[in-house]
Amino acid sequence: MHDDMKEKLTVVKVGGAVVEDDAQLAHLLADFAAIEGRKVLVHGGGRKATKMAERLGVETCMVEGRRVTDSAMLEVVTMVYGGLVNKNIVARMQALGVNAIGLTGADAGIIRSAKRPPVVVKSGDTVDYGFVGDVTRVDHEALASLIEAGLAPVIAPLTHDGEGHMLNTNADTMASETAKALAKTYDVTLVFAFEKPGVLSNPDDDTSVIATITHSDFERYRDDGTISGGMLPKVSNALAAVDAGVERVVITRADAIDGQHGTVIC
């Protein structure tokens, strides 16, 4: 099948900061509702999980920006991501005329993971992240069948191991893996919505958005320090998605997901 024959599909990843700010979330969902054609939303919700854990007396432990998920924290993230955050987004989408369906990776078996083994971190310590999953398989046919039935999947950052356990899973990774898998069937645009207007050539100047980045641009920007810190994994993930068949990846602010703004990775 030629690419020009493929139906367009947009995968939007929205981070926890936007999910927790009601005005930003309302704006994002209205923009999502306005996207033409087939679409999927992948959401975070880490800060809400931290607040709920505190209310329930469950301690939050972060190592290098990632949440250690013991069995008590797994209960909290399953409730918060799969329940509170996911169903509120679905209800609000329905009010906007989008026929949303809320899913975790376990639902219809769409995303399976393997429990991450203990890893050695920068400090030299070995850390067991607990019930954290690394994606091993996306069932793109199961997901496509829902999409073809006219539904807009809203995916929480939870997967399953196929043996009855839920696993806490990075939402950026889930969005990338979902986009890559759906690229077999669709012409996919992956949008990462976060608090900045794009990849910036000067981190202190929000008007310095880099319009497009290719592999060779990335190497140059990485070597000269233009792209550094938390933006490095974002852009390298985006390039990996493009290499795996995703047509384009857009990194943009949450109030500008219409495809006219931000940085395009191609």
Q: What is the pLDDT of residue 1?
A: 46
pTM of the entire predicted model: 0.93
d(CA 105, CA 109): 6
- List the structure tokens of 93: 């989408």
The answer to whether the CB of 210 falls within 8 A of the CB of 234 is no
Q: What is the pLDDT of residue 2?
A: 52
User: Which positions ≥6 away from 239 have C-beta within 8 Å?
Assistant: 213, 215, 218, 249, 265
Parallel, antiparallel or unpaired: strands 133-138 and 111-115: antiparallel
The 10s digit of each residue's pLDDT in 21-41 is 999 999 999 999 999 999 999
User: Which positions ≥6 away from 68 have C-beta within 8 Å?
Assistant: 61, 62, 127, 128, 129, 130, 132
Domains of the chain: 3-265 (3.40.1160.10)
Determine the average pLDDT of the residues in 238-251. Answer: 94
The 10s digit of each residue's pLDDT in 84-142 is 999 999 999 999 999 999 999 999 999 999 999 999 988 899 999 999 999 999 999 99
Determine the average pLDDT of the residues in 170-191. Answer: 95
DSSP, collapsed to helix, strand or coil, labels residue 183 as coil
Tell me the pLDDT of the chain averaged across its residues. Answer: 93
pLDDT > 70 in the chain, percent: 98
The answer to whether the CB of 150 falls within 8 A of the CB of 90 is no
The answer to whether the CB of 45 falls within 8 A of the CB of 83 is no
C-alpha 243: how far from its chain's center? 18
The answer to whether the CB of 227 falls within 8 A of the CB of 219 is no
Q: What is the pLDDT of residue 260?
A: 82
